Amino acid sequence: SGSVVLSPGAKPGEEPDGDSPKAENEPQPLHGSGICKWFNVRMGFGFLSMTAKGGAALDSPVDVFVHQSKLHMEGFRSLKEGEAVEFTFKKSSKGLESIRVTGPGGVFCIGSERRPKGKSLQKRRSKGDRCYNCGGLDHHAKECKLPPQP
């Protein structure tokens, strides 16, 4: 039971937690809720229309930037125009930027039915995915069992 590896003293030259200067410049993330204003599925970003901040309704909605990497959901990440969202956000040089976006009460976002057009189909037909020797889709030329074709 007495085999704790971490020494109680911090390593020399390290600030103890909570004292680092970074903590002061980075305010706690703010909490907001609203709807998705628009979302570009192909580009993977859009804007939220924040109607309440920290639980208090705003007089007029405020735009908050959203990137698909911040969406809490499974599979392909996107937002549907008008879907209800809750999120944490911060002020950045670009304005307000969301940190994590969920559906109401922390559930997965619904997401758009739209997908980037033709991505999965095109990918299969692109030359890089097939053997340029015999045209087979399951291997590349260097693994091809056939002799080089004219």
Residue 120 belongs to a domain = no
Residue 70 belongs to a domain = yes
What is the pTM assigned to this prediction? Answer: 0.61
| pLDDT higher at 120 or 68 | 68
Query: Which range among 6-10, 45-49, 86-90 shows the weakest confidence by mean pLDDT?
Result: 6-10
Residue 79 belongs to a domain = yes
CA gyration radius, the chain: 24
| pLDDT higher at 124 or 12 | 12
**pLDDT for the residue numbered 9:** 60
How many folded domains does the chain comprise? 1
Distance CA 129, CA 139 (A): 8
For residue 99, pLDDT over 90 is answered with: yes
- For residue 91, the cross-strand partners are 96
Phi and psi at 105, nearest 5°, equal 75, 15
Q: What's the CATH number where 42 sits? A: 2.40.50.140
Give residue-wise pLDDT tens across range 18-46. Answer: 554 454 556 678 999 999 999 999 999 99
For residue 119, pLDDT over 50 is answered with: no
DSSP annotation of 28 reads P
Mean pLDDT, residues 134-143 taken together:
79
Residue 74 belongs to a domain = yes
Residue 73 belongs to a domain = yes
Mean pLDDT, residues 98-122 taken together:
83
**pLDDT for the residue numbered 123:** 43
DSSP annotation of 86 reads E
Would you give the distance in Å from CA 73 to the centre of its chain?
A: 9
Q: What DSSP string describes 99-144? A: EEEESGGGPPP---S---TTHHHHHHHSGGGS-TTT--SSS-GGG-
Residue 38 belongs to a domain = yes
Residue 93 belongs to a domain = yes
Range of the domain at 92: 30-102
The tokens for 58 are 């705003």
